[in-house]
Structure 1
């Protein structure tokens, strides 16, 4: 796994800021350090466990202690001392064959979170892990390592999700995702929402202020992590995470908030949000925040089958042109000096294309990549917050994978609360030209409420956006099986989210054949014929 992007003012991080210490040990012993806080009587593992960012010999294990997850001060009801946890990794779910164990420090300055780098593992293996604090045992998590760099695995099961708003519905989709037991899960942003939660339209009833301080962000992360369906999804497989806007502020760009009047104090808010994000995600120490900066773009290789290029299209982007909504014929959107990735990240990505020997190169990122024109007239009306608002950036990235001879470029996207499947063009002014890649967009977990089903081809914009092959407004996630020969894509949907217990079904299934860059429909299941309410 490549975690060393090209240095720049935003990527020079201080490893000493990591909030945990973990070492391999031949046996688990009772902590005797003078700084250890007394073991609490209540279960401190109320936020569950998680793993992430695997490579061939290691994986990050995460937990955060909280006795009172929704405490207003963001400290989770924990004492101000440091707790010494024990952790184990085993080859079996009952922990009869423990292969690694050690200790980790849960410090108050990092919200009593731990990030354990469990190393010395075998490539391409399934493992189970858990934590212990005194007599308290955490839930058991399932994780895995990646294949060796030169190996070609026969298949990879990968699911990805985005956009879960607590007030809008139940996280049942996470439970269905967990039941599929994928090898890896990508979360592409809007893990939570920063908005003030009030009684109006609040399906789940818990209210809270807009997140502005470190205490607010810690509390909001904890609120979401109390959800048992989200905990199940975290526990089933390693996650690769990236953020979008709502982990900080709607439509933020670099050092600029959505609302200009909120500029004073925004950098302090950004620092708080970044710190809380790191504390609550299974990220490697190389992503530990330094002030207002956090290194999030990184690369994870799954042998020679797939490379995941995890992008950050928020922290380095130019401010949105012509406002941050849809704009018509905005000349600034094509200004080559503007960027959605920043120069250093763009160079890192293009280098990754040139160095890749993967069968599939997947870009895990936040916002709509393909052209999405909502005006059928010759005028172009496109979103300034998406890649349409940074057309020169998109052109350079597309030309980069073409020049590098990337075999199967696939863009994975969240943000827009609906499923989409798009074919990508080298020249968007020539819609009949060959497709040079594909884009898969996941709907939301809950954001926007229940949503609605649409027949394939019925979405009006598809008439003049011929590269858009599928759009559906139900909630859900995307499940894939990647092999050397094809990528099998299932758009998983729920008929409703505003009540608990909804079933899940495959609304549509597409296959992308190796080297073809086109979407082939193999299954079409309208809601009224599959899962009536």
Structure 2
């Protein structure tokens, strides 16, 4: 099965082979030399054999997503697969077996390998150290992921650079994976991509639940856990038939700092809620060090800078059993925030590592911003079950999922892609003075145009809901007289252009999802401080709703360290001071879900009682309803009752 992308990823390579004259019995100079110089003849034939073998080897190397991504068309930044193929056909003096009977059919995308002509593969066993995962489902395909670490041989050796590891996969509708698989294949991986494996299972049925598993090619009894995944409904599926007519449940997460607590929210969701899709809005990892010793959550290494640093951090995060189980339970759709690279990223820097015309300001980890971003992006795509979006735009992660006529899920990048300068601590006044500058952009012009076009296309194609997953709080959020210029409040013209597009084109049923702030905020969407057309008491005049969620573990001022009553008091102040804001809560860590049906969206917020140790002690603290066509939260908001935080309707002005 040919899994290569339609683009010619080897277009920059040419293999030159000698040509010979035919007929007349005359010899070409090459033939003459071969006949008269036996040693040269042997060398020449050896080179031809080597070239043919290397060419086939390179083709298969380029097919494993992890080797080429995210630099398909920038080979100077990608792994040199020609060099790797040469390395792999050299004799190996380790515990290996003949590789010729194994067929390498990797998925084309970010990380692809092709070792089909490697003479040997590792045969001393593998360990699926980080379980399995799936993500970015389409209607007929889904990305599958694992990590296959080679085990030492009987003499204690591990494979050198010349030896790949072979992993097989299969996917089917039977929970025990019996019967004929819906898709299967084999893929090679190496140390070059941290022994990660990412394949695309294709030829699947739309809107269907699947089970999948990986195995060691040389010992099929060595298997990974069985994972559960699914495909999406086809684009033209009537809304009432999506997900078999049942509401489609999205679990929405953000801000999971390892040293700040245990990932109980992931476990609670996977065990007790079982979302159809996990949506992560970013800060999946953090680059920082320090803290966590008292609860057994100290991070390894230093502040992240190199590819080794980012891989080590991802490896440690993915060792968390609840995160592993959540990945095993359903497909994920993810985007990054800032901490996947470093704090407060923008297109030329971060809080502590900024590239300037004079050079770069070094971070404590000793790396410039550009170097850190390249390393962070590569490691993210190795470790996450995410597709390559655009081979000519390696940093692009923004993309759209059309789920029947029920909804469009558009995932944005408001941090890494093309963001103008942000507040990095020492420039707050300057950035604040730029907040209303008309040309200032949080998204970059390409992504902004794409979003507006996607919203319009969603309406035109008859989708009922438009759900936009992004990182930072969208509404104006006055926090005691201060605005966060690192959020949308620092890019007001960009925000207004989006709201204008929704109002002017009568695009209804838009839901914005936000993370980053480490607190819960639920709001009607309207122009900032607009009380002429928007009524905060009834919601009339709004054009949509924002659901912003707290962190899985991360906390923030002013809620951090305060008592329940003090946190509730802060929430009361916030809902009083912000016109659109209808609910605020910051005491608990957790997540929220969206149950999407043709007639309504129900959002339920869940809180974890204690993240200082591993447990599944969670509970629902608030629930919100948005009816199709209303473009506002249904009143009374949250039914007039929440278990934590403050509702605007309960606060006396």
Contact in 2 for aligned 1:149/1:302 (Cα 8 Å): yes
Map Cα deviations across residues 266-321 of structure 1 (whole Å, 9 max, x no partner): 2111111100000011111336797xx42201111111111011101112100115
| CA shift for structure 1 position 504 | 0.8
Give unpaired runs (5+ residues) of structure 2.
7-69, 82-103, 109-114, 152-157, 355-360, 535-540, 646-653
User: RMSD across aligned C-alpha pairs, in angstroms?
Assistant: 3.0
Distance in 2 (CA, whole Å) between partners of 1:478 and 1:507 is 10
Q: In the alignment, what sits opposite 2:377?
A: 274
Q: In the alignment, what sits opposite 1:413?
A: 514
Query: What SS does the corresponding residue of 1:369 show, helix, strand or coil?
Result: coil
Q: In the alignment, what sits opposite 1:484?
A: 598
Range with bigger deviation, 148-157 or 451-460: 451-460
Distance in 2 (CA, whole Å) between partners of 1:181 and 1:79 is 41
Distance in 2 (CA, whole Å) between partners of 1:23 and 1:279 is 13
User: In the alignment, does 2:121 pair up with 1:37?
Assistant: yes
| CA shift for structure 1 position 330 | 2.8
Distance in 1 (CA, whole Å) between partners of 2:562 and 2:229 is 33
Equivalence map 1:25-174=2 (5 Å): 33-41=117-125, 43-66=126-149, 80=161, 81-97=163-179, 98-133=181-216, 134=219, 135-151=221-237, 152=239, 153=242, 154=245, 155-174=247-266
Q: 1:524 aligns with which of 617, 632, 641?
A: 641
Q: In the alignment, what sits opposite 1:319?
A: 421
Contact in 2 for aligned 1:317/1:339 (Cα 8 Å): yes
Distance in 2 (CA, whole Å) between partners of 1:148 and 1:89 is 19
User: In the alignment, does 2:550 pair up with 1:443?
Assistant: yes
| CA shift for structure 1 position 527 | 6.1
Range with bigger deviation, 193-202 or 94-103: 193-202
| CA shift for structure 1 position 168 | 1.0
| CA shift for structure 1 position 231 | 0.6
Q: In the alignment, what sits opposite 1:72?
A: none
Q: In the alignment, what sits opposite 1:7?
A: none
Q: In the alignment, what sits opposite 2:12?
A: none
Map Cα deviations across residues 71-108 of structure 1 (whole Å, 9 max, x no partner): xxxxxx87533222110001021011421111122233
Q: In the alignment, what sits opposite 1:509?
A: 623
Contact in 1 for aligned 2:467/2:513 (Cα 8 Å): yes
Between structure 1 and structure 2, the one with the greater Rg is 2
Map Cα deviations across residues 161-197 of structure 1 (whole Å, 9 max, x no partner): 0011111111111001112221111100000110023
RCO (CA 8 Å, sep 6+): is it higher in 1 or 2? 1
Q: In the alignment, what sits opposite 2:449?
A: 347
User: In the alignment, does 2:578 pair up with 1:465?
Assistant: yes
Contact in 1 for aligned 2:585/2:644 (Cα 8 Å): no
Distance in 2 (CA, whole Å) between partners of 1:38 and 1:210 is 34
| CA shift for structure 1 position 109 | 2.2
| CA shift for structure 1 position 457 | 9.1
CA change 1:140–1:12 in 2 (3 A) is: closer
CA change 1:79–1:490 in 2 (3 A) is: farther
Q: In the alignment, what sits opposite 2:463?
A: 358
Q: 1:386 aligns with which of 487, 490, 494?
A: 487
Please, what TM-score do these two structures have when normalized by structure 2?
0.71
CA change 1:403–1:225 in 2 (3 A) is: same
Distance in 1 (CA, whole Å) between partners of 2:519 and 2:563 is 10
Moved over 4 A (4+): 15-21, 198-203, 287-290, 321-329, 449-458
Q: In the alignment, what sits opposite 2:286?
A: 193
Contact in 1 for aligned 2:261/2:292 (Cα 8 Å): no
CA change 1:103–1:527 in 2 (3 A) is: same
Contact in 2 for aligned 1:49/1:63 (Cα 8 Å): yes
Query: What SS does the corresponding residue of 1:435 show, helix, strand or coil?
Result: coil
Q: In the alignment, what sits opposite 1:28?
A: none
Contact in 2 for aligned 1:322/1:332 (Cα 8 Å): no
Query: What SS does the corresponding residue of 1:330 show, helix, strand or coil?
Result: helix
Q: In the alignment, what sits opposite 2:409?
A: 308
User: In the alignment, does 2:611 pair up with 1:497?
Assistant: yes
Q: 1:397 aligns with which of 498, 522, 536?
A: 498
| CA shift for structure 1 position 455 | 4.8
Range with bigger deviation, 459-468 or 142-151: 459-468
Distance in 2 (CA, whole Å) between partners of 1:194 and 1:229 is 21
CA change 1:319–1:459 in 2 (3 A) is: same
| CA shift for structure 1 position 500 | 2.1
Equivalence map 1:159-308=2 (5 Å): 159-179=251-271, 180-198=273-291, 203-259=296-352, 260=354, 261-262=361-362, 265-286=368-389, 293-308=394-409
Contact in 2 for aligned 1:23/1:102 (Cα 8 Å): no
CA change 1:354–1:432 in 2 (3 A) is: closer
| CA shift for structure 1 position 23 | 6.8
Give the helix-richer structure, 1 or 2: 2
Query: What SS does the corresponding residue of 2:182 show, helix, strand or coil?
Result: strand
Give unpaired runs (5+ residues) of structure 1.
5-10, 25-30, 69-76, 529-533
Contact in 1 for aligned 2:268/2:616 (Cα 8 Å): no
Distance in 2 (CA, whole Å) between partners of 1:52 and 1:15 is 25
Query: What SS does the corresponding residue of 1:283 show, helix, strand or coil?
Result: coil
